[in-house]
Amino acid sequence: MSVNMKGKSFLTLMDLSAQEIRYLLDLAHDLKAKKRMGLCGQALKGKNIVLLFEKTSTRTRCSFEVAAKEEGGNVTYLDPGSSQMGKKESLEDTAKVLGRFFDGIEYRGFDQQVVLDLAKYSGVPVFNGLTDLDHPTQILADMMTMEEHLHKPLKECKVAFVGDVRNNMSYAWMFGCCKMGVDFVGYGPQELIDGADKSILAACQAEGEKTGAHIQLSDNIDDLKGADVLYSDIWASMGEEELIPQRAKLLAPYRIDDKMVEHTGNPNVIFMHCLPSFHDTRTTIEAEIAEKFGITEMEVTDEVFESRQSVVFDQAENRMHTIKAVIYATLC
């Protein structure tokens, strides 16, 4: 079955068919192989993309900029101080203006409704670089990384997200897994499971029934048995430092360490993380946390982060290749 995504926005994997996701993954593998052979082209020559960032990022910004420029495209970066969106100009008006200047719009920020409205009013493809609800470009890169390291079909894999099962990465994994027939368990404290969005869980479980994916949230460590991926995310985002003592007390039993890796019973299990990670005290924020709260490791131990199971930097690289695939598929 042929796939044509030209003109389509990339807002959430729930909007895409399994065939479209498969197409993007295959395209990303192909583009990565071509880059390594020095075969980048000019597919995006004459195309202009704007990056709207309300949240800072290393990987997302660099991935979009390098991906577009390697294929001949042009990129404009707008941070919150460089745009009137939502201040002197409505979101609708901003979207309509940007749609006249640019062939594609990337948004990284807070409310999922913003990226939906940009797509509704701009008239050009919009790419979700992260919201409080979802992070689809990350999941696409993660699935590509799984295929590189696990050497078996995605449908035969099991992903375990460990920690705060209510956050955007947990939901993003549910979306991706239910679409691609991948088993998923969100492993965390019952208190956080109770706070998870039940409508999202129900929708993903219903989709999973069609694709063969088992989607669940659990506080039972035995549900990690057979996991191919142990995945974690930071316990407190930027600006939430005051929550660290509370989060650490609640989530310390869910820190990924050697014992948890062994508990999967899978000698080939891999560790994944969307980064940045608080696994030591070598950054300013980590050093401050260690001094103030006595916490030197949070969501993962340094031993696991630096272990042979860790593929976090392959994930980071694959952000660029999969984002290039998304841009290529929707603009060319």
Give the pLDDT confidence of 221-249 residue by residue, as tens digits: 999 999 999 999 998 765 677 788 888 89
136 cis-preceded (ω within 30 degrees of 0): no
The candidate with the shortest Cα–Cα distance to 129, out of 117, 112, 146, is 112
- Same-domain check for residues 162 and 199: yes
Q: Are the CB atoms for 157 and 180 separated by under 8 Å?
A: no
pLDDT of residue 81: 81
Which residue's entry shows tokens 């991906």? 67
- Same-domain check for residues 170 and 274: yes
**Where residue 107 sits, what CATH number does that domain have?**
3.40.50.1370
Q: Is residue 69 part of a domain?
A: yes
The number of distinct structural domains making up the chain is: 2
**Distance in angstroms (rounded) separating the CA atoms of residues 119 and 135:** 16
24, 25, 27, 32 alpha-carbon torsion, rounded to 10°: 140
- Same-domain check for residues 168 and 293: yes
Q: Domain range spanning residue 122?
A: 13-134+319-331
**What tokens were used for 136?**
């689809």
pLDDT of residue 87: 79
In this prediction, the residues of the chain whose per-residue pLDDT falls under 70 are 1, 237-239
Which residue's entry shows tokens 């969307």? 274
Q: Are the CB atoms for 124 and 103 separated by under 8 Å?
A: yes
Q: Are the CB atoms for 107 and 114 separated by under 8 Å?
A: yes
Encoded amino acid at 202, one letter: A
Phi, psi of 327 (to 5 degrees): -60, -45
**What tokens were used for 250?**
């609640």
The candidate with the shortest Cα–Cα distance to 300, out of 251, 255, 250, is 255
Beta bridge partners of 48: 74
Q: Is residue 141 part of a domain?
A: no
Q: Is residue 174 part of a domain?
A: yes
34-87 pLDDT, tens digit each = 999 999 999 999 999 999 999 999 999 999 999 999 999 999 999 988 777 777
- Same-domain check for residues 163 and 104: no
Q: Is residue 313 part of a domain?
A: no
Phi, psi of 279 (to 5 degrees): -115, 0
